[in-house]
Each structure stands twice: as structure tokens, then as C-alpha cells.
A and B are shown apart, each in its own frame.
Chain A
């Protein structure tokens, strides 16, 4: 019978450390630190739209947010109508009108508020607009 030597019975930490490092790398990669969109906007369901992925959202995409009260913002920075016009004009000068424009409108906002944004886009020469909707709810509801 083999003798149990208590002095040499040391726990091997290597596999645990391997797993823990793997987990950390996973979380670092999936972490999205910058919450640069308006979190108060509640989107309507739209299961039949085109899924927004990194591939069909080129870096030139302009996402305009319209909240419940009609506040217009880009990356959660509030804009006046003339600001938005200037931004669109600058964009068009740079990329012509070949960049996608997404409107992230709150489901409770009135069409009037969305209309203002659409009219600014149209008068700047952008006719193709897209509206953002939720295809699948994943985030936990805070309320």
C-alpha cells in the first residue's frame, strides 16, 4: 500500500488559473464601456427588420436619437435643429449622401417629433432613412 505523504500533497493551481484567465479574457473582450447612446429611449419591437450587425453598420452610419419628449441627440449629445443640419451638411460634404442614417425614436414619441428630424434629413438630401427597432429582447428591464 502506498503511503500518503502529507507534506507533498499540494494543490495544483495551474488548471484553475488557466480557466480564470480564459474567463477574464472573455469578459474583457465582451465589455462595452462607453455607453454613448441615450438609454432612456424605449424602442418598439420590429422582429421582421434587417438585423443590425457590425457588418451592415459601416463606421459612417449616423444614428439620430429622438427621445420621448422630442429631444434630438447623437451619441446622447443634445442637438438643436440647426446643429443637426450642420452635422448632416458636413457629413454630406465628406461622404456625399452614401451613408446610412438610422433614426432611433422612442416608441412613445409623437410622429411630429420624428417628422422634424426626417424633414431636416430630406432637406439635406437624404431620402433613405432607417428606423431602429428591437428584434430580440436580451437586456434586463430596469423598470
Chain B
């Protein structure tokens, strides 16, 4: 059997770029198509006291802001309010004290959205002492 010997004649062999470019474009298209933008999320902190502490909290009535979250909307100081009105009420109260304890009482059939809206409004005016109770 005759073996042919490779002889380098001094010419640099040219690399064929076509397959690499094909693969790279395929990858690029894949990543462009699968790219999905994510929502920017925020978190709203609140405390959830144990049910047994409920009475102890109620005894110290001095700095309490009571908001009831009902299926139809919000009840504050015995009046039914819409979100914009609640916003104004919290704005006014935050002028006196930002550390006042806000008690959010949710009825069991109220939508979760209302609780989030309430927490959001409280966060907007810097009220940080938030507690959630369930009714």
C-alpha cells in the first residue's frame, strides 16, 4: 500500500467559515425568539400577629388606624371608601404619625387585590407598622 505524504507547501490553509456562521445564526435566532421580558416585582411587608395577640393589640387603642377590607371596597372610620378616598385619608393621617399602627382587617370573601391596594397605599405614605387580621 502506498502512503501519500502530506507536504506543507507553505500556503496557509483557509478555514471555511460558512458552517460556523450558520450555527451561530441559528443560536442567535433561538435566543432572540426565546427572550422573554420579566415584570419588575415589588414586595409589600406586613405583620401577621397570632390570633391570641389580637386582644392585647385592641387594648392599646391610642395610635390605631383601622381599615376594613370588604368585598365591595374599603371601610374606614365606619364609612365606605373607594381607593382614591382611602388614599387621601391615609395621606392625611401619615402627616400626624408615620409609625402609627395600621390594622387591616380583611373579610374572608374580599379579593386579595384590595389587600394589596391597601398595603400599597400605606407604603406610598411611609406607614410601616402594618398588621393584617382576618375577620
Contact = CB atoms under 8 A, between A and B. Distances in A.
Interface of A: 13, 17, 20-21, 23-24, 27-28, 30-32, 43-52, 66, 102, 105-115, 118-119, 121-123, 127-140
Given A49-B120, A51-B42, A131-B115, A31 B47 contact: no
7 contacts: A49-B44, A51-B41, A128-B45, A128-B48, A132-B43, A133-B43, A136-B40
Interface in B11-57: 17, 20-21, 24-25, 27-28, 31-32, 34-51
Contacts of A130: 43-46
Contacts of B17: 13, 17
Contacts of B106: 111, 115
A131 B21 CA distance: 47
**Taking each of B43, B44, B121, which has the highest tally of chain A beta carbons within 10 Å of its own beta carbon?**
B43
Contacts of B124: 47-48
A127 B50 contact: yes
Contacts of A50: 42-45
B37 A131 contact: no
Contacts of B47: 127-129
Given A45-B120, A48-B121, A50-B45, 4 more contacts: A49-B44, A111-B134, A129-B45, A133-B43
Given A108-B113, A129-B47, A134-B40, A21 B123 contact: no
A105 B46 contact: no
Nearest to A42: B113
A109 B120 contact: no
Interface of B: 17, 20-21, 24-25, 27-28, 31-32, 34-51, 69, 106-113, 115-117, 119-121, 123-124, 132, 134
Contacts of A31: 31, 34-35
Contacts of A44: 112-113, 116-117, 120
Contacts of A48: 42, 120-121, 123-124
B111 A107 contact: yes
Contacts of B134: 111, 115, 118-119
Contact of A46 (B35, B42, B132): B42
A135 B41 CA distance: 5
Contact of A129 (B28, B46, B51): B46
Given A31-B31, A138-B40, A24 B113 contact: no
Contact of B27 (A24, A118, A121, A132): A24
